[in-house]
Amino acid sequence: MSKTVNGITIDDTFAEAFGMSGTGIIITADSMKWAKIAATVATGFGTSVIGAGAECGIDKELTPEETPDGRPGVRILIFGFSPDALIPQVRNRIGQCVLTSPGSACYAGLKAEKTMPLGKGTRLFGDGYQTAKKLGDSRYWRIPVMDGEFIIEEDTGVTTDAVGGGNMLILGRDRAGLLETAEAAVEAIAKVDDVITPFPGGIVRSGSKVGAKYAGMHASSNDAFCPTLRGTIKHSELAPDTLAVLEIVIDGLTSKAVADAMRIGLKAVTDIGAKRGVTRITAGNYGGKLGQHHYHLKDLI
């Protein structure tokens, strides 16, 4: 039985999410502006593991008191299929996007039993002039660069308890209002620790289904939710007044964080959505057989 909250229909369905591996990295710089530039570039092209190799995003901004070097910073999260799959992603993203960014430094952003290399490969950029400083359990590499030294911690934590693909589909009869509502939900989710929304601005407009009619395509357009196909396909899920659908995808370091993020996101949508033409909220799943984590919308309202 679907529910109605503030005039918005909540489908009796669930978001189906997958177990993933995730890591956290703290990026600092002389100013928040430059920490964010490095973090934004390092997490760029990190939307879906299928095509981008990793799902990345900025988790939160950190005050100087919260970072290992007392400078402003941000924590980014990177998710992949396995710790091994994360290694080249982290190495390349940090090596190309953080090492190169003026004044940056890079530290472990996740304390976990398992660790993975952070600066282990990047340190070789120092060509023998790099030195290490071990403080407590952490080893920091100092790599001479043209604006001083790039500091990077040797390892960071990695968890295999992460969850990828928590999601909600927001349906509405006004495209502008729908986008505004989805933006508000992403903004609310951003306040939850340990989660990211990896798609552009946190929002996906090209939700996908598994498989395609073409060989070699692993995913293809979620036709049942494409408004322009309504009427011409038998399996359309959309009511006559639905003009557009936007999806928010959530990755988190723990299942609880993903559930919290979905709860807060759903609340943001139901709080302000009706006035902006939102009519219905549903979630993406594959019948429950593929993903280990199920988030029932009715439990999160």
Partner 1 sequence: MSGLKLRFKAPATERINLAGITPSKLLALSSHEIARLNVGIEKGGVALGDAFDISGEAGETLTIEGATPAIDFVGDGLDSGTIRVVGNVGSFAARKMSGGKLEIHGDAGDYLASGSTGGMILVSGNAGDNLGGVETGERFGMLGGMAVIEGNIGARAGDKMRRGTVIVRGKTGPGAGSRMIGGTIWAEGGFGRDPGLMMRRGTLIGPSVESLLPTFVDCGKHDLVIIRVIARYLKSTLGDLAPKPMPLFVQKIGGDTATIGRGEILLPAG
Beta strands 278-282; 8-10: pairing state? parallel
Among 135, 214, 216, 235, binds partner 1 (CB under 8 A): 135
* Nearest distance, CB of residue 133 and partner 1, angstroms: 6
* Nearest distance, CB of residue 137 and partner 1, angstroms: 10
Cα separation, 117 vs 110, whole angstroms = 12
Judged by beta carbon, residue 88 or residue 144, the one nearer partner 1 is 144
Binding to partner 1 (CB under 8 A): which residues in 35-74? 68-71
**133 belongs to the binding site for partner 1 (CB under 8 A):** yes
Among 129, 200, 214, 240, binds partner 1 (CB under 8 A): 129
Judged by beta carbon, residue 83 or residue 126, the one nearer partner 1 is 126
* Nearest distance, CB of residue 178 and partner 1, angstroms: 44
Cα separation, 52 vs 257, whole angstroms = 23
Judged by beta carbon, residue 101 or residue 279, the one nearer partner 1 is 101
Binding to partner 1 (CB under 8 A): which residues in 148-187? 148-149, 151
Instruction: Look at residues 28, 94, 110 and name the one whose alpha carbon lies nearest to residue 62.
Output: 28
Element (H, E) at 176: helix 175-190
CB atoms within 10 A of CB 120: 18
Burial state string for 213-249 with b = 16 or more CB within 10 A and e = fewer than 16 = eeeeeeeeebbbbbbeebeeeeebbbeeebbbbbbbb
Cβ atoms of 152 and 119 closer than 8 Å: yes
Binding to partner 1 (CB under 8 A): which residues in 88-107? 105
Q: Interface residues with partner 1 (CB under 8 A)?
A: 68-71, 105, 129, 131-136, 138, 140, 142, 148-149, 151
